[in-house]
Chains A and B, each alone.
Chain A
Amino acid sequence: RKEVEQDPGPFNVPEGATVAFNCTYSNSASQSFFWYRQDCRKEPKLLMSVYSSGNEDGRFTAQLNRASQYISLLIRDSKLSDSATYLCVVTRAGRRALTFGSGTRLQVQP
């Protein structure tokens, strides 16, 4: 079983739609949680951190449920420029590596 699992998509949505991605992680010792964005095989870039209390940054909201080992990302009012692959990332206590999910592809259509 992969340590971080994501639905690969693609999610095809019209501009202005609200879309949600989910991610599950298997290691209960996971310590920190993030969403990264990757454009067309370019380098991943940090989108936002994820906290149990929830984290909002403009149109993006991230949520962590430690009991269910589940992370979500909500994008409101989708823009064409949001088209990308969204990577769910966790770290383990005492281990400095980032553990990546394989990503969920989003395609926003005009």
Chain B
Amino acid sequence: EAQVTQNPRYLITVTGKKLTVTCSQNMNHEYMSWYRQDPGLGLRQIYYSMNVEVTDKGDVPEGYKVSRKEKRNFPLILESPSPNQTSLYFCASSYLGNTDTQYFGPGTRLTVL
């Protein structure tokens, strides 16, 4: 089954404790992206990647890092999480020639205390 998976689905952590949210897709997509969703603000792009070892900032990259060492994986790293990073995070992927149609993972609900 074609899908985008994220882990963990739910996470409660404390300020300053480094964490990684994994994202994996099995559709051989070149393009992958991370979004966060906050009430009243919609989904906002954090980082994206157009292929292995190619990443770039989205609209709200501060406090986040990403890496793209393999085509299927695109982890999101919070080196020192803060309460304002409490949010619902979605990973998405698509073919590079068709980024209009992105497939989303199920979401990760993160709470930073």
Interface residues, chain A, with chain B CB atoms under 8 Å away: 2, 4, 8, 32, 34, 41-46, 49, 87, 91, 96-98, 100-103
Contact = CB atoms under 8 A, between A and B. Distances in A.
15 contacts: A32-B100, A41-B88, A42-B107, A43-B105, A43-B107, A44-B43, A87-B43, A91-B99, A91-B100, A97-B45, A98-B43, A98-B100, A98-B102, A100-B44, A102-B41
Contacts, number: 51
Main secondary structure of the interface of B (DSSP, over half): strand
Most interface-central of A97, A100, A102 (chain B CB within 10 A): A97
**Band of interface residues on B:** 20 to 34
Main secondary structure of the interface of A (DSSP, over half): loop
Interface string B75-103: 00000000000001010100000011110
